[in-house]
Structure 1
């Protein structure tokens, strides 16, 4: 678990170096941060719903133009390359991906946040379970995914 927090810290430091407009200067009181965190959780739930309903298009709509993923020891960046990466996965009509956020946290300035939780990936009779971490950036009034990664549970439920 310590590794995921270390990774998250490094990614947040790197992403926070991007230029931000003054529009990101959001309220910093606890109530406002709680509202931002609920918005993040809602965005993640809607991301899952749109993926279920619209498959690849629903999945891709959640990503920022400069988003990246970390998967199987490699990085894929940018919406064009991400779409190319995910097309064969979503082309499998039996593939179903669902997830549930278990935690959401937002930066006090409202510019960044992250969610993590559990996922289930099915394809035919094959089912795998894991955990995911998604980092979000507030873009034009919407939360957009800027980094997504996941890992399989070592012990898959029976």
Structure 2
């Protein structure tokens, strides 16, 4: 028994200590936040192109699997299937047009989370008469397997309750 205990003790001495060899978080190289911001801006441009193409399925793929889309005056859409359904209904509205303008993108120093704040202009004509809504949005981005995906997307109108 003593021989087994001694062998285990000696074996553990030969194994490097994980904590001693692990790179402390503060020693990890900081993310290139400017490059990450540009990558997010590219995703926003792609999103805008997919909106113009009215491709709800591809838009839903811009979200993380458990993402949330929180449109103004509508229930939350949780998960890609619900997000796709929500976007499909929105882009099917007659006269639909949506322009997105990011104003500020802040990337975490770790480079795995970001916040995108901006404005939008939505045009629809459900009854043949054009209606324009101006508003603002916030998207929380999460980097998943090297690609930026929307984790939470909320929009709200600048119009007063009841549409003004």
> Cα offset for 1:55?
3.2
How does 1:74-153 map onto structure 2 within 5 Å?
Answer: 74-124=75-125, 125-153=130-158
Q: How big is each residue's C-alpha offset from its partner over 1:86-136, in whole Å with a ceiling of 9 and x where there is no partner?
A: 322222242111111111111111111111111011112111110111111
**How much is the aligned-residue C-alpha RMSD, in angstroms?**
2.2
SS in 2 for 1:145: strand
What TM-score do the two structures reach when normalised by structure 1?
A: 0.72
Q: Which has the higher contact order (CA 8 A, sep 6+)?
A: 1
Is residue 45–residue 100 contact of structure 1 (8 Å, CA) maintained in 2?
no
User: Matched residues in 1 for 2:152 and 2:140: separation?
Assistant: 5
SS in 2 for 1:68: strand
- Structure 2: which 5+ runs fail to align? 1-27
Paired residues, what number? 129
- Structure 1: which 5+ runs fail to align? 1-25
SS in 2 for 1:108: coil
Identify which range, 86-95 or 108-117, moves more after superposition: 86-95
User: Matched residues in 1 for 2:55 and 2:97: separation?
Assistant: 9
- Which is higher, the Rg of structure 1 or of structure 2? 2
Q: Which residue of 2 aligns with 1:18?
A: none
